[in-house]
Amino acid sequence: MCTRPELDELDEARRLYGEHRYVEAEEACRRALLHRGSRPQALHLLGRIMHRTGKLELAEGFLREALSCDPGSPSIHCSLGKVLYDLGRLPDSLASFEQAIALDPECGEAHCALGGALQEVGRFAEAEQHCRRSLALEFERPRSYFFLANALCSLGRLLEARECFRAALALDPSYSDAHWTLATVYRVKGRTAEALRVLECGSALAPDNPEIPFILEALKGSYAPSRAPDGFIVHHFDRFASSFDAQLREVLRYRAPELVVGVATRWLGARAWQLDVLDAGCGTGLCGPLLRPVARRLVGVDLSRGMLERARERGVYDELICAELTQCLAGTYELYDLIVMADVLVYFGDLLPVLSSASRAIRAGGVVAASFERADSGNYVLHAAGRYAHSEGYLREASTRAGLVLLELEACTLRLERGEPVRGYIAVLRKPSLEA
């Protein structure tokens, strides 16, 4: 009995793909494409190979061609959804996963992937449902438990999340992301020793992760660098760029943008509407729509390219700059009337360099408005979350040394953490006018 040659080629391609021999797998797929009978399967596998090798646009092309041959395949829709997710096209990605489930309600892989993607848009309860459905369909992979754990974290159910992280690690002890996030759960529950143990294990598995050494230092409390390292900032915020707004608004009840912009514009009064404004550490641009009505020119600066892409989508900035804040400010002189720093100085311990640079960057009579987390003693303290809190006395001293006059220091609640209010300040600082 003769076998069909295209099936032999396809089986060989699948074997090579499973062995991570992607160049040879691609060659076998292309040979299989010479035979029409296996065209949809070969195109699907080619798409997956391109995805694995980082050729996302080619992957999308092959998968869409596969769907033109077999539009009713849930597995191809699921593969396309993963590619679209990595391309940053989240609505299209969600639609592909939903189509896969519509075609096959028992596709555990699609439920798992949809559960992960829904968290990026803040739909955490739905994400939990799909992750649990994936597990109920016996799609018991570390990723299913990991996505479920993340959803539970976002819903504030940390004890349940901890057990799911443990389940993920039981299936794959080398899952470094699960170690990292489980350590975060222990940290926010105040179980520092367990957080350290898990994080040190995660550090061994992911030695190139720049977040881990900084958080380890924060947890140990033995040494507080003067500011968070650039690598920490970039890695941390690039990872969360797509879900950042939903997490802050829906879970943490984040209020810093409204508080900072509101106080700043009140002090500027009649000068508003004609201001050159810098949104320093703009992130995803939450301050942007609030600043646009008072700005003649609105510039945003941030170190995370992922965050800047989200800010660009708002369409309110005249210019967006990817740079470290102090260095960016040091290169300007009397360029702005207003500098806003919402939830930015929590990544600086020593405030003098950044405030001095801000003082040089604003014009005489200009204003710096910023939020701070509150420390009750000392100058500043690095918390286990990798954020700095500052004392009122130190804030006043640093402002004066930077050549700024403290106009107002308003106590406030900035957000929630572990369901508890985070105490902070909104500070308004002015550069003395030439007449003063």
Q: Helix (H) and strand (E) counts for the chain?
A: 21, 9
Nearest Cα residue to 171 out of 193, 194, 138: 138
Mean pLDDT of 330-335: 85
Q: Residue 276 is inside which H or E element, if any?
A: strand 275-280
Arithmetic mean of pLDDT, 64-92: 92
Q: What integer pLDDT is reported at residue 156 of this predicted model?
A: 79
Please give the pLDDT value at position 75: 95
At residue 63, φ and ψ (nearest 5 deg) are -70, -35
| pLDDT over 70 (residue 419) | no
Which range has the worst mean pLDDT, 33-42, 311-320, 402-411, 420-429? 33-42
300 with 319: CB under 8 angstroms? yes
| pLDDT over 70 percentage in the chain | 91
Q: Which long-range contacts (CB under 8 A, 24 or more apart) does 210-216 make?
A: 210/234, 210/235, 211/180, 211/235, 211/236, 211/386, 212/180, 214/386, 215/183, 215/187, 215/384, 215/385, 215/386
C-alpha to C-alpha distance for 116 and 174, rounded to whole angstroms: 20
* The pLDDT value given to residue 297: 95
Half-sphere exposure of 369 (CA within 13 A, CB side): 24
Spatial separation of the C-alpha atoms in residues 46 and 33, rounded to whole Å: 10
CA distance 349 to 352: 9
In angstroms, rounded to a whole number, what is the distance separating the alpha carbons of residues 276 and 363? 10
Query: Measured between alpha carbons, how far is residue 405 from residues 148, 267, 368 in Å?
Result: 49, 13, 10
| C-alpha span between 393 and 376 (Å, rounded) | 9
More confident residue, 98 or 166: 98
Task: Decide which of 176 and 387 is more confident.
Answer: 387
CATH architecture for the domain at 253-430? 3-Layer(aba) Sandwich (3.40)
Q: Are 365 and 427 in contact (CB under 8 A)?
A: no
> What region does 283 belong to: left with phi over 0, alpha with psi -120 to 50, or beta?
left
Domain ranges of the chain: 253-430
The pLDDT of residue 95: 96
What average pLDDT does the segment 320-335 reach? 90
H-only helix segments in 155-293 = 158-171, 176-188, 192-205, 211-220, 230-240, 244-246, 256-268, 288-291
- pLDDT score for 1: 38
Residue 326's alpha-carbon distances to 253, 260, 350, 374, 417, in angstroms, are 28, 20, 12, 22, 28
Tell me the mean pLDDT in the region 173-185.
Answer: 77
Secondary structure class of 295 (helix, strand, coil): strand
Q: What percent of the chain has pLDDT over 90?
A: 44
Tell me how far apart the alpha carbons of residues 187 and 347 are, in angstroms, rounded to a whole number.
18
Classify 349 as helix, strand or coil.
coil
- The per-residue pLDDT for 2 is 41
pLDDT score at 344: 92
For residues 288-309, give the mean pLDDT.
Answer: 92
Q: What is the pTM of this model?
A: 0.66
pLDDT at 271: 63
Average pLDDT, the chain: 85
Whether pLDDT at 76 is above 90: yes
Asked if pLDDT for residue 100 goes beyond 80, the answer is yes
> What residues does 338 pair with on adjacent strands?
277, 367
pLDDT band at 110 (very low <50, low <70, confident <90, very high): very high
Max mean pLDDT range (4-18, 44-58, 203-217)? 44-58
- CA dist 146 and 276 (Å) reads 45
Q: Distance between CA atoms of 369 and 412, rounded to whole angstroms?
A: 14
